[in-house]
Amino acid sequence: MIGLQEVTVDNKDLLRLTLHQCRVAGGGTTMYPALYRALADLRGLGNQYDSWIICLTDGDTKDDMYQEFRRDLCASSHNLHLMIVGVNLREDYRGHLQEMCHKFGSMETKGGFISSGSDIDSLNDAFGTVAARIPVSQTFQLDGALSDRDCWRLMDNFSPDCIAGSDMLRKKFWIEFLFRRVKVFDENKQFNYNETHDNLGSSLMSIMLGEA
């Protein structure tokens, strides 16, 4: 189990290695201890903004710590939300997880259960649904801090033709231009909580690039 922590340049590679090693599964599911730990970590932050727990599960779990988890979930803050992606789960177990994502009716929440198949397309669709429910400004933060090498790679891959290969001064102006506009969107509730306009982010980005 990896405790909640900030992703930084110094620990990013170690976290990637640790997560890669976690991919080797030995069977069995102990979901409740992990969810209980996540609740405790987030409670310790005292976050005034929305916080999200994203859980991926493919089977029934042991009942270890279920009562403790249920108690703390129902008593958790109103801005903490649980989303569960269930892979090939039987129908009756889905209902239980849906109740859990709604905090057993104890309060209003933005959490929810998402059913998925085990193929890559189904999983991509499921996590696309998860990403769509989290405000844009929060999804920006999930990437953590970029290293200089990561930053240069992204610039080389995505800079438009008029900027790619240019001198450093022009690249600096380009980055500052994008940063100012992204910062405006990042602090705009109408943009972050948009549920009306499809593809709003990509549409606005196209307009911004045209202006540049």
pLDDT band at 13 (very low <50, low <70, confident <90, very high): confident
pLDDT band at 35 (very low <50, low <70, confident <90, very high): very high
Residue 193 and residue 176: Cα distance in Å, rounded?
25
Distance (Å) of CA 145 to CA 9, 148, 151: 6, 10, 10
Across the range 152-171, mean pLDDT stands at 75
Report the amino acid identity of residue 146: L
Q: Where are the alpha helices (DSSP H) in 50-146?
A: 66-74, 91-101, 120-133, 136-141
DSSP secondary structure of 4-32: -----TTTHHHHHHHHHHTT---S---HH
Phi, psi for 4 (deg, rounded to 5): -65, 130
- Token pair 């202006």 is found at 211
Across the range 6-30, mean pLDDT stands at 76
State which H helix or E strand residue 82 sits in.
strand 80-87
- Residue spans per domain, the chain: 12-141, 148-211
Q: What is the pLDDT of residues 110-120, one digit of tens each?
A: 999 999 998 98
Phi, psi for 66 (deg, rounded to 5): -65, -45
Instruction: Kindly list the strands in the beta sheet with 112-116, ordered across the sheet, starting from the edge strand earlier in the chain.
Output: 51-57, 80-87, 112-116
- Token pair 């669709």 is found at 125
pLDDT band at 28 (very low <50, low <70, confident <90, very high): low
Q: What is the pLDDT of residues 77-109, one digit of tens each?
A: 999 999 999 999 888 888 889 999 999 999 999
Phi, psi for 9 (deg, rounded to 5): -60, -35
- 12-141 carries CATH number 3.40.50: yes
Phi, psi for 24 (deg, rounded to 5): -85, 105
pLDDT band at 158 (very low <50, low <70, confident <90, very high): confident
DSSP secondary structure of 151-173: HHHHHHHH--TTTTT--HHHHHH
Q: Bridge-partner residues for 51, per DSSP? A: 80
